[in-house]
Structures are given as structure tokens and as C-alpha cells.
Structure 1
């Protein structure tokens, strides 16, 4: 099984063999389930998925002006090179899912359970993660999360690597053992909420300055 390892965190990736996948023209599950599929090269105004299960599939080079996904199960599915403007993904469970080179600007991730989920080289700027729970390994690597807000999430053990966290807002939530090594923390907000995270020694100075600013501490000469 192919995996992605960032320091102490190893996430299982989707197990897909292109020869086993069948090209489909629509993501329209029969009896609420779609498996062994390849959905590629679509330019859509709206894409809506609700109450369905998707297994062992690839969604690639899909552009959607609006995408609403609600109450779905995604297992061993990858999104590659997709532009999913104003994606709303809610009340769903994702396991062994990979987003690679995707634009998810302004996306909303609400009330999700994530296990072995990887965001790789994605633009997730101006997004909102609310009520997201990491039940297993979750990795953000090489991603941009400018002005993204994380609120009411349990991101215990989540790993961030080489991400742009400019004005990323870590609101109240659980971040126990979240691995923030390898990232610039000098421009985040919500440092006061980052209890029990893992950082490098050199990051301590930047995080201390952010924390002092949030607490209104004056550093006198």
C-alpha cells in the first residue's frame, strides 16, 4: 500500500489501478454507490453529490463553479488537478482520500470525519474548516492556507509541512500533537489555542511573538 510520511505521521493513500477504472460521464451512483470509476476533464457550472458512497475512484481535471457535497462516504478516492470553487463538503466521512494540485479557494469543510486524508500542493486559501475531526492521519503538505479559518475542530495529530499559513486562524479546538514543524508560524493567528502542538526549537521565538501580541503583552526595552 502506498503511503505518505511526514516525520511521525504516515497516511495511507488511495489504492487505484488505472486499468481497473471505468470512465464515467456523470457521478451518478446506482443504488447510492459508485466504485472503480474515473471522472475526468469536465467543466461544470454546478456539481451536487448527496447521500452516496464513492469507492476506489479518481476525479481529475474537473472544474466546477459550485460544488456541494453532503452526507457522502469517500473511500480510496483521489482528486487531481481540480478547480472546485466555493466547494462545500459537509456531514461526510473521508478515508484514504487525496487532494493533489487542487484549487479549493473559499471552500467550506463542515462536520467531517477524516482518516488517512492528504492535501498535497493545494490552494485552500480563504477556506473554513468547522467541526472537522481527524480520526486518523491527516496531512497538509505544500499547501497554501492564506486566511483560512479552523474553528471547533479536533485536529489532533495532523501534520503540516511546508505550508503557507499567512493569517491562518487557529480558533478554539483541539490540536493535541498536531505537528507544525517546517512551517512559518510568525504570521498565524490564534496561537493561544495551540496547546500541546509540536514545533521546532527555532519556531518558538516566532510563536512567542504572536502569542504576546494576542495577549496584549508589551515588550519593554
Structure 2
């Protein structure tokens, strides 16, 4: 259980790089940043492991190659925030709006995303072993080569996303959508897609779903793209 007494608490402030570095240098316990404005700050390559970010403004904040392991992010807003090459293992993201964010080549081992908005974000090259998503918008995201191997995906919206070469083998979709997603080279062996929306996909895309489990209604929808009706 998280206790605020275990943190150095900073509230309702706007911080730049030098001020954050000062806090890092004097801290004897992890930082808890509550309602802190970090917008536009260059925080690249700092050590912010174990930090708790609560309702922070992260708009265009640069966390490139920053150490962010075991961090918590709750209720944050951060359009175009950069996590490129950051170390985020064991991090937790909850109820945060991080649209158009950059996660290229970052480390996401055992990271969880719950009720987040990641529309238009770029996860290309991210190491994703054990990552989990729940009730999260991934509309128009770039997930080239991402791995969801053996994951249970709970109500994820991949509409219009770039899912080329993504590994969905043995994945179970609990609701959610793959509508109009690009799936060239994606692996769906033994994936259960019966509860996912496949609207916008055509039968010519069906070869990409080789080995997947779909419903009769989904099969009929794919056939209808050729003008065929299942009687």
C-alpha cells in the first residue's frame, strides 16, 4: 500500500530541469509530484525512479532516456510527451491522457496502462514483455513489431492503428476494436477475436488472421466485403 509519508511531496508548482535536478540531489526518499507543471521541461537522462506523478501537466515534456522504473502516473495530461528510450519497467499509468506521445525504443517490462488515452502515440521498437492495457484508447497508434503474446486485452480500441508485424499469438480480445487497422505481417495464431469489432476489414485481409478464432457473424461480415451473403 502506497503511503505519502514515504515520499518527498511537491505540490502545485512549475518546475524546470534545474529545479528537478535540485530535488533529486536533496531527496532522501522518492518524489511525489502532485499537480506539478512540467510542460516543456527537458528531463532527459535524469534518474526519477520510484517517482509518483499525480495530476501533472506533462505536455511536451522530454523524458528521453530517463530512468523511470517503478514510477506511478495517475490523472496526468501530456500531449506529445517524449518517453523515447526511457526505462519504464514496472511503471503504472492510470486515467492519463498522453495522446501523440513518443515511446520509441523504450523499456516497458511489466508496465500497466488502465483507462488511458494514447491516441496517435508511437510505440515502434518498444520492448514490451509483460505489458498490460485495460480500457485504453490506442486509436491511430503506431505499434510496429509490438508484442501482445499471450495477453488478455480488455476493451482496447485499435481503430486505424498501425499493427504491422505485431505479435497477437494466443491473445484473447475482451471487446475492443480492430476496425480499419493495418495488420500486414501481424501474427494472430490462436488469437480469440470473437468479441472484437472487425468492421472495415476486408476478406483480402483475412490471410493476416490465419489461425485466429472468429465468430460466424464476423465471418459473414468479411464475406460481405466481396458482395456475398451468408444464408
TM-score range, shorter chain: 0.7 to 0.9
SS in 2 for 1:59: strand
Correspondence list, 1:107-146, <5 A: 107-134=121-148, 137-146=150-159
Matched, 1:204 2:219: no
More strand by share: 1
- Write the distance in 2 (CA, Å) between the matches of 1:33 and 1:177: 41
Gaps of 5+ in 2: 8-29
Structure 2 Cα separation of the partners of residues 126 and 178 of structure 1: 21
- Cα separation, partners in 2 of 1:196 and 1:60, compared to 1, 3 Å: same
Q: Distance in 2 between matches of 1:153 and 1:164?
A: 15
Give the CA deviation at 1:55. Answer: 2.1
Change (3 A) 1:165 1:154: closer
Q: Label 1:45 to 1:53 Cα distance change in 2 as closer, same or farther (>3 A).
A: closer
As a proportion of its length, which structure holds more helix? Answer: 2
How far apart, CA to CA, are the structure 2 residues paired with 1:121 and 1:220?
A: 33
What is the alpha-carbon distance in structure 1 between the residues aligned to residue 79 and residue 229 of structure 2?
Answer: 47
Q: How does 1:46-65 map to 2 (within 5 A)?
A: 46-65=60-79
Secondary structure of the corresponding residue to residue 163 of structure 2: strand
1:165 to 178, 195, 211: 178
Q: Which has the larger radius of gyration?
A: 2
Question: Which of the pair has the greater relative contact order for Cα pairs under 8 Å at 6+ separation?
Answer: 1
Over the residues paired in the alignment, what is the CA RMSD in angstroms? Answer: 2.8
CA distance in 2, matches of 1:165, 1:98: 21
Q: Find 1:43's aligned residue among 26, 42, 57.
A: 57
TM-score (norm 1): 0.75
The match for 1:185 is 198
8 Å CA contact 2:177–2:198 kept in 1: the answer is no
- Shift of residue 32 of structure 1? 5.1
Deviation string 1:53-78 (CA, Å, 9 cap, x unpaired) is 32222111111121222122322111
> Structure 1 residue 194: deviation in Å?
0.7
Determine the C-alpha separation between the residues in 2 that align with 1:32 and 1:137. Answer: 33
**Residue 212 of structure 1: how far off its partner (Å):** 6.5
Distance 1:207 1:92, change over 3 A: farther
C-alpha contact (below 8 Å) 1:117/1:137 kept by paired residues:
no
Q: Please, what TM-score do these two structures have when normalized by structure 2?
A: 0.72
Could you list the runs of 5+ residues in structure 1 that have no partner in the other structure?
1-16
Secondary structure in 2 matching 1:105: coil
The structural deviation recorded for 1:33 is 4.0
Shift of 1:105: 1.3
